[in-house]
Chains A and B, each alone.
Chain A
Amino acid sequence: MDRQQLLDLYFVDARARLIDIAAFLDRIERAEPPEDFRTEAFLQALKELEKPGPDRARRVLLALSDPTREPVSKSPGKGACGAFPSSSSLKSSPSP
């Protein structure tokens, strides 16, 4: 499919998701603290969208991933929260 056809197929859906993201960020900003590392991780991942190259999905996923290599000593729980706290945001991190 060419770009025109892909836009015809996906633009309105992507537009709706984009507005959802904007509304999500507005919602977070309106809310009272505490801060949470996931907000910063989300905003950092959004920056990948502006960079050129046809691998934005991969880069966003990597931006939200645990970049470390060593196994964890003890499981912190069963669930995942969707983002990994950077060293600068650890002070504001809840227990995932």
Chain B
Amino acid sequence: MRYIEPHAHMVSRVTDDYLAMVMAGCAAVCEPAFWAGFDRGSAQGFYDYFCQLTDYEPRRAARYQLPHFSWLCINPKEAEDMGLAREVLEIIPGFLTRENVLGIGEIGLNKNTRNEIQILEEHVRLAAEHGQLILVHTPHLEDKWKGTRLILDVLRADPRISPERVIIDHVEEHTIGMVLDAGFWAGITLYPESKCTPARAVDMFETAGADRLWLNCACDWGQSDPLAVPKAAFEMRRRGYGDAVIEKLVFENPRTFLSQSPRFHVREAGCAA
């Protein structure tokens, strides 16, 4: 089986994970910019991080014949400091021409504050002005339902944003409907405790259908699993689904969305990208 990992924070993973992912059938990995677990003190810190995402990390992945792509932003957890956020927003355009950059992400909300919303709006404007795809992070736990509604309000308010060019990630049973009904893509994140199990992901696939839906692991510096997507594929197999259905969800769907960027490509079977 081949699959695409559309959301993984590989900078915080060991190199062994690349080997395990490739051995499990991973054909491409995409890495959104995110919170490092601590607040960075300056825009220069983000500049270095963007260099890591667009230069060093693709080379690390390439040692395993794995195409690596990135998304750029200042994440919502650091958006409360609007001065810093705007400094970071100013340096992002300089990276948008890097060959592995797919778009703006993962932007969104964390605690649903007014400052976070303003910075989200500015990211959306940036994406619209530069014709970029958008990857959206929805808040955790009790904040997700409210945050998802606020995010949809922001996206709908900008007429330049086409829903089919936006993936709204970390949906769960109470938010997947509003995302898909609004025409956006939805990402189900397989992550212990705070997000979704493989069994629930398959439940959502069964009730919502396979259109505009992808699975991802969002593995990072927390307890998480870089092989969560192939494990969800195994869960589908346990429920009796065949290769074609599984491959649509874990390979064809992310490829369809990501191929809206001309930079995206996958490792074809039997040869390097």
Chain A residues proximal to chain B, CB less than 8 Å: 1, 9-10, 55, 57-58, 61-62, 64-69, 71-84
Contacts and interface: CB of A to CB of B under 8 A. Distances in A.
Interface residues of B, number: 31
Contacts of B106: none
B218 to A, nearest CB: 15
B139 A61 contact: no
A57 B197 CA distance: 12
23 contacts: A1-B240, A9-B239, A58-B174, A61-B173, A61-B174, A62-B145, A64-B141, A65-B142, A65-B143, A65-B174, A66-B143, A66-B145, A71-B113, A71-B116, A71-B150, A72-B113, A72-B114, A74-B113, A75-B80, A75-B115, A78-B77, A80-B140, A80-B194
A69 B149 contact: yes
A82 B156 CA distance: 28
A72 B230 CA distance: 38
A68 B112 CA distance: 11
Interface in B40-87: 77, 80
Contact of B110 (A1, A9, A61, A78): A78
Say what secondary structure dominates the interface of chain A: loop
Contact of B111 (A64, A65, A67, A78): A78
A61 B204 CA distance: 14
Nearest to B193: A82
B111 to A, nearest CB: 4
Contact of B144 (A1, A65, A75): A65
A57 B175 CA distance: 11
B2 to A, nearest CB: 25
A72 to B, nearest CB: 5
Contact of B172 (A61, A68, A75, A77): A61
A66 B142 contact: yes
Contacts of A58: 173-174
A58 B207 CA distance: 12
B142 A73 contact: no
Contacts of A67: 145-146
Given A58-B174, A65-B142, A68-B146, A10 B113 contact: no
Contacts of B113: 71-75
